[in-house]
Amino acid sequence: MSRLRKLFGKIGGAKVSRQDDGVVSQHGTSISRDEIPARSSPPDSTPKLSEAALATISTRSSTPTSLPEQLWDKAYDVLKDEHGSLLLGYEKILSQELNGVDWNTISKSLETVIEQKNPVKRRLQMTQLIRAGLEKTEREANVKKGAGDAIQVMLSAKNMI
């Protein structure tokens, strides 16, 4: 816990404003939820950042926009410094998802595509991965629900016979 407090203490208090429409801004820059790319393509296709998101990344400073983002970036960087090989393996697995490669297929030669220098782009990639994970979980839950419904119908029919 003291390491977390140490990290939290090192992060300066940036001026942040949050508007009701989900826009976070700092120093004249802003991003909205609409600019973060949603993953609406099939799971085997490669997800891409939208042109608007790429333009936002290129025109925005790499300074985090909120204290939680600053804390996350600092923690990620400390983890990379202290456990670089572990984080590299983790980034390779995440890169497979960003490239549309099946999670069960681990390629030792795969290069990491996780952004190393621009924390804004890295957070967008992580958001994209979170959305992909949530969509996968939703699909799996729907399959399980459908199987459960089918079994329930079969058990009801069995009781009638």
pTM over 0.75: no
Give the span between the Cα atoms of 101 and 130, in whole angstroms: 16
Q: Is the pLDDT of residue 143 over 50?
A: yes
Domain residue ranges in the chain: 2-160
* pLDDT of 100 higher than 90: no
**Which residues face 31 on adjacent strands?**
24
List of residues 6+ apart from 140 with CB closer than 8 A: none
5-19, 65-79, 94-108, 125-139 — which is least confidently predicted? Answer: 5-19
Tens-place pLDDT, residues 53-88: 544 544 444 455 788 888 888 888 899 899 988 988
